[in-house]
């Protein structure tokens, strides 16, 4: 009886959320329709008056008062109305039109604020419902100690992926922190598989995700500045346009990661595994990449000025048009690397290292000269 009651209550909550969303859409449609009718009506009235004035002058319509009326049958002299007279009338008529437009604008703004508040309330309700359901799975269904083939893990994954698609940046970050602190996304023990999870634009500033398994998630445009991702598994993660400035990625697995255009300035990547990673056009200025594995990585047009790449493995890497001015390349492995068009001005690198590269055509050498 209790399980049935719990199931009925959960279904009731979901039904209420769906009904609320439908009611919100209907209310928004009605408000937009009313505002549109007001604006159209005001514009039609204004255009009609202007057309009347123009037509009166053009066709000399007596009833508009544009023509002087004289003669024996005229009881009183009536001078023609001037353009100024009609402009004054138009100004008088414009007042109610302006009032109507002002009311429509104010109503629109109020509607937008109301819709935003409603959406925010819906997201907060969805987040709270998700956490309540997950706590039930943790406490009543032993989610943390479950195995991969158990139904409870599949339910937890589906609920997580579903709620992440509905939440904003702040609440996406809250979900990820909840999973991390609950021990559900650890690298050694991953209870919930987040592959394919929508964390685009998530706010994870300063988040503690050390040792987390985030392989295969979408974190494009996410804010991970100052976050602790040391020893985390980020293999195959999409981080294009993300902010990872000053993040701690020491010992992290970033194989095959997509970091094109990301901000990694001042990031700590010592000992990180970046095999086949895409870092094209990324900002790595001042980054620490000591002993990092960047073999076969794509770093074309990236900014690595003043970066520490000592003892890094850059074998076979694409470093074409990369900025390495002032970078520390002591002991780095550059065998087979493409450095065509690269800027090496002031970089700490030996002639022997450069000899081992695949291409140096058009590169600016450490002394400022151009390699032919």
At 295, list the tokens.
Answer: 């073999």
Q: Is the pLDDT of residue 109 over 90?
A: no
Pick the more confident residue, 80 or 134: 134
Dist. CA 333–CA 227, nearest whole Å: 29
Dist. CA 90–CA 85, nearest whole Å: 9
* Tally: H helices and E strands in the chain: 5, 0
Per-residue confidence (pLDDT) for residue 179, from 0 to 100? 97
Compute CA distances 131 → 135, 138, 139, 159, 190, whole Å: 6, 10, 12, 10, 18
When pLDDT is averaged across residues 340-361 and rounded to a whole number, the result is 96
Dist. CA 280–CA 277, nearest whole Å: 9
Beta strands in the chain (DSSP E): none
Per-residue confidence (pLDDT) for residue 10, from 0 to 100? 47
Dist. CA 177–CA 3, nearest whole Å: 29
Residue 115's pLDDT band, with cuts at 50, 70 and 90, is confident
Dist. CA 284–CA 279, nearest whole Å: 9
When pLDDT is averaged across residues 354-368 and rounded to a whole number, the result is 96
Q: Is the pLDDT of residue 85 over 80?
A: no
Most confident of 45-49, 78-82, 153-157, 184-188: 153-157
When pLDDT is averaged across residues 207-221 and rounded to a whole number, the result is 96
Q: Is the pLDDT of residue 216 over 50?
A: yes
DSSP 192: S
When pLDDT is averaged across residues 73-88 and rounded to a whole number, the result is 55
Per-residue confidence (pLDDT) for residue 2, from 0 to 100? 37
Residue 306's pLDDT band, with cuts at 50, 70 and 90, is very high
How would DSSP label each residue in 62-109? GGGT-S-B-STT-SS-BPPPPHHHHHHHHHHHHHHHHHHHHHHHHHHH
Compute CA distances 48 → 85, 96, 103, 185, whole Å: 17, 14, 21, 67
Per-residue confidence (pLDDT) for residue 107, from 0 to 100? 72
Dist. CA 294–CA 372, nearest whole Å: 26
pTM over 0.85: no
Per-residue confidence (pLDDT) for residue 106, from 0 to 100? 73
Q: Are 302 and 280 in contact (CB under 8 A)?
A: yes
Cα-only R_g, the chain: 34
- The lowest-confidence range among 84-98, 278-292, 330-344 is 84-98
At 172, list the tokens.
Answer: 């996406």
Per-residue confidence (pLDDT) for residue 285, from 0 to 100? 97
Neighbours of 160 (CB within 10 A): 22
Q: Are 336 and 357 in contact (CB under 8 A)?
A: yes
Average pLDDT, the chain: 84
CA atoms 44, 48, 49, 51: torsion sign: positive
Q: Is the pLDDT of residue 26 over 60?
A: no
Q: What is the pLDDT of residues 236-282, one digit of tens each?
A: 999 999 999 999 999 999 999 999 999 999 999 999 999 999 999 99
Q: Is the pLDDT of residue 28 over 60?
A: no
Q: How far from chain centre, in Å, is Cα 326?
A: 33
DSSP 141: S
Per-residue confidence (pLDDT) for residue 230, from 0 to 100? 96
The packing angle between helices 169-181 and 83-139, to 10°, is 10
Q: What is the pLDDT of residues 136-188, one digit of tens each?
A: 999 999 999 999 889 999 999 999 999 999 999 999 999 999 999 999 999 88
Per-residue confidence (pLDDT) for residue 329, from 0 to 100? 98
Q: How many residues are listed for the chain in this entry?
A: 372
How would DSSP label each residue in 276-333? T-B-TT-B-TT-B-TT-B-TT-B-TT-B-TT-B-TT-B-TT-B-TT-B-TT-B-TT-B
Per-residue confidence (pLDDT) for residue 256, from 0 to 100? 95
| Residues contacting 264, CB < 8 A, separation 6+ | 244, 245, 247, 279, 282, 283, 284, 287
Dist. CA 319–CA 331, nearest whole Å: 17
């Amino acid at each position: 009886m209790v399980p049935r009651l719990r199931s009925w209550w959960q279904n009731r909550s979901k039904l209420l959320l769906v009904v609320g969303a439908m009611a919100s859409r209907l209310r928004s449609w009605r408000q937009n329709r009313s505002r549109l009718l007001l604006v159209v009506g005001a514009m039609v009235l204004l255009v009609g008056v202007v057309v009347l004035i123009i037509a009166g002058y053009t066709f000399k319509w007596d009833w508009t008062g544009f023509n002087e009326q004289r003669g024996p049958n005229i009881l009183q002299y009536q001078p023609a109305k001037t353009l100024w007279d009609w402009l004054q009338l138009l100004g008088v008529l414009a007042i109610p039109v302006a009032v109507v437009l002002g009311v429509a604008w104010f109503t629109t703004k109020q509607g937008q604020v109301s819709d935003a508040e409603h959406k925010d309330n819906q997201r907060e309700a969805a987040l709270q419902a998700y956490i309540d359901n997950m706590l039930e799975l943790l406490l009543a269904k032993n989610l943390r100690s479950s195995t991969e083939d158990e139904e409870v893990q599949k339910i937890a994954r589906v609920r997580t992926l579903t709620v992440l698609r509905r939440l904003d940046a702040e609440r996406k970050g809250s979900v990820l922190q909840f999973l991390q602190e609950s021990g559900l996304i650890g690298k050694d023990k991953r209870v919930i598989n987040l592959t394919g999870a929508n964390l685009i634009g998530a706010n994870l500033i300063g988040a503690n995700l050390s040792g987390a398994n985030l392989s295969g998630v979408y974190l494009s445009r996410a804010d991970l500045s100052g976050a602790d991702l040391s020893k985390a598994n980020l293999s195959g993660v999409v981080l294009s346009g993300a902010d990872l400035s000053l993040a701690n990625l020491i010992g992290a697995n970033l194989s095959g990661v997509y970091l094109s255009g990301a901000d990694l300035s001042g990031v700590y990547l010592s000992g990180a595994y970046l095999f086949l990673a895409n870092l094209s056009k990324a900002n790595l200025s001042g980054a620490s990449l000591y002993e990092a594995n960047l073999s076969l990585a794509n770093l074309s047009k990236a900014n690595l000025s003043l970066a520490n790449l000592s003892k890094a493995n850059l074998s076979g890497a694409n470093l074409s048009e990369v900025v390495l001015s002032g970078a520390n390349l002591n002991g780095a492995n550059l065998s087979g690397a493409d450095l065509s068009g690269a800027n090496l001005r002031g970089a700490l690198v030996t002639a022997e290292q450069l000899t081992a590269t695949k291409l140096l055509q058009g590169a600016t050498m450490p002394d400022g000269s151009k390699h032919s």
